[in-house]
Amino acid sequence: MDSITQIAEKARRASYELSTLSTQTKNDALHAMADALQSESALILTENEKDLNAGRARDLSKAMLDRLELSEDRLAGIADGLRDVAALSDPVGETIRGWKNPNGLEIQQVRTPLGVIAMVYESRPNVTADAAGLAMKAGSACILRGGSEAVHSNRVLADVLSRAATGAGIPASAIQLVPTQEHEVVTEMLQLNHLIDLVIPRGGERLIDMVVENSKIPVIKHFRGMVHVYIDEHADDEKAVAVAVNSKTQRPSTCNSCETILVHANKMGMIPSLVAGLRDKDVEVRGDERVQSAVADVTPTTDEDWSTEYLDLIVSIRVVDTMDAALDHIREYSSGLAESIVTEDYGSGRRFHLAVDSAAVYINASTRFTDGAEFGLGAEIGITTDKIFPRGPMGLRELTSSKYVIFGDGHIRG
């Protein structure tokens, strides 16, 4: 069995070849990988069943088991994801900007592959395919370290994908799965900053903390989704209810779902219809004293509610006296992923989007749009809440680096 250093060295060598592959070769490989997922579905589902059985024996929650489970349909969906990546334009080699200096030097900033990307993730085996496909199209080798719950599924997926890719002309070590679940391997890997260029953790806070704590490699992370909708005093009632309810309920288990609704005091009159709209979708409504005074049967909020990412059909509502109070609340509790204001007032909208510092700031739209595909960027590997540029959905472009290429004719510096 290769050590993690050997795996990383192989990935590094593969990355040299990957960086200069033609777009056609990469796209052919993505299609071959997609086809293989479907033609070898029997093998994959057998291995997946082993993980499901182990999960049932360990009493994993129904939600966890659901995230773990593969099926013909889900494999077809994952395969289509790879085909979608093939259809995206190749970011490698794109000229970002270029200019000519007074001394005649032509300077071009061009997009280049990152090199080697490590993914450390939990549970969902589809990440194995998504990450492998996006990294390859972005010209990088990837090292995948999935969770123990999905060990059989990840192993067979990585094997099927890697074989298909190699058959289509991709270097053999472009996609590698770390073959052991030992924890020390991850901390060891996180020291290899001379071989690995970026690490992306995907999972719970504990996993992300562990990676941040131990990594000498730059980390791009998506931390939490503590998301707010602010209903301004100049909001349209109907849009306010629609945006708030959609932000909360369209898929409550996702990071871009709203957890707290802030309502301007002059809009307290609409709280009953807001609560009714939420309850229509089976949301448990919690509220501060003024919300409780406006509607019956509202669970009183505690301080803890304002920083709790429910990821469930629960929402907290707070009444604020001014937009300043709303901005203060957001600065204190937001995780910087997404916030939305509902308003018909030009000044309120402008002030909100200038003052709120989140990866996505909405005016009169649901926070649920915070997603690479919804933005029109194509597939994504996560949404970064780091402030390092670029923030937001991590699509193909965001998985690249850049370099300057400078064309001279014997230019020397005087």
Backbone φ, ψ for residue 383 (5° rounding): -130, 115
Per-residue H/E/C for 189-245: HCCCCCCCCEEEEECCHHHHHHHHHHCCCCECCCCCCCEEEEECCCCCHHHHHHHHH
CB of 213 to a copy of itself, least distance (A): 6
Positive/negative CA dihedral, 22, 108, 389, 192: positive
Footprint of a copy of itself on 266-295 (CB under 8 A): none
- Taking CB under 8 A as the criterion, the residue among 51, 391, 395, 396 binding a copy of itself is 391
Footprint of a copy of itself on 193-252 (CB under 8 A): 193, 197-198, 212-213, 216, 218-220, 236, 238-239, 242-243, 245-246, 250
Residues 325-348 as b/e (b if ≥16 CB within 10 A, e otherwise) read ebbebbeebbbbbbbbbbbeeeeb
CB 177 within 8 A of CB 154: yes
- Look at residues 95, 78, 206 and name the one whose alpha carbon lies nearest to residue 147: 206
CB of 211 to a copy of itself, least distance (A): 10
- Look at residues 247, 246, 223, 248 and name the one whose alpha carbon lies nearest to residue 382: 223
CB of 404 to a copy of itself, least distance (A): 5
- Look at residues 115, 113, 119, 117 and name the one whose alpha carbon lies nearest to residue 145: 119
Count of residues near a copy of itself by CB under 8 A: 71
CB of 29 to a copy of itself, least distance (A): 20
Footprint of a copy of itself on 112-141 (CB under 8 A): 112-115
- Taking CB under 8 A as the criterion, the residue among 46, 293, 331, 347 binding a copy of itself is 331
Q: Does residue 87 interact with a copy of itself by CB under 8 A?
A: no
Would you say 54 or 313 has its CB closer to a copy of itself? 313
Query: How far is Cα 162 from Cα 174, in angstroms, rounded to an integer?
Result: 8
Query: Both tokens of residue 173?
Result: 């070590």
Burial grade of 83 (CB within 10 A; 0-12, 13-18, 19 or more): middle
Footprint of a copy of itself on 140-159 (CB under 8 A): none
Q: Which stretch binds a copy of itself (CB under 8 A): 21-29, 296-304, 312-320, 403-411?
A: 403-411
Q: Which stretch binds a copy of itself (CB under 8 A): 67-75, 294-302, 312-320, 382-390?
A: 382-390
Q: Which stretch binds a copy of itself (CB under 8 A): 66-74, 126-134, 300-308, 388-396?
A: 388-396
Footprint of a copy of itself on 5-24 (CB under 8 A): 16, 19-20
CB of 3 to a copy of itself, least distance (A): 20
- Taking CB under 8 A as the criterion, the residue among 207, 311, 314, 355 binding a copy of itself is 355
CB of 160 to a copy of itself, least distance (A): 29
CB of 110 to a copy of itself, least distance (A): 9
Would you say 88 or 160 has its CB closer to a copy of itself? 88
Q: Which stretch binds a copy of itself (CB under 8 A): 28-36, 285-293, 308-316, 356-364?
A: 356-364
- Taking CB under 8 A as the criterion, the residue among 38, 109, 273, 292 binding a copy of itself is 109
Q: Does residue 346 interact with a copy of itself by CB under 8 A?
A: no
The full DSSP string for 253-293 is TSTTSEEEEEEEGGGGGGHHHHHHHHHHTTPEEEE-HHHHH
CB of 366 to a copy of itself, least distance (A): 5
Would you say 55 or 382 has its CB closer to a copy of itself? 382
C-alpha distances in Å from residue 37, one per residue of 77, 179, 281, 391: 10, 20, 37, 32
CB of 400 to a copy of itself, least distance (A): 6
Mode of pairing for the β-strands spanning 392-393 and 383-384? antiparallel
Query: How far is Cα 11 from Cα 8, in angstroms, rounded to an integer?
Result: 5
30's enclosing H/E stretch is helix 23-39
CB 293 within 8 A of CB 279: no
- Taking CB under 8 A as the criterion, the residue among 56, 58, 281, 403 binding a copy of itself is 403
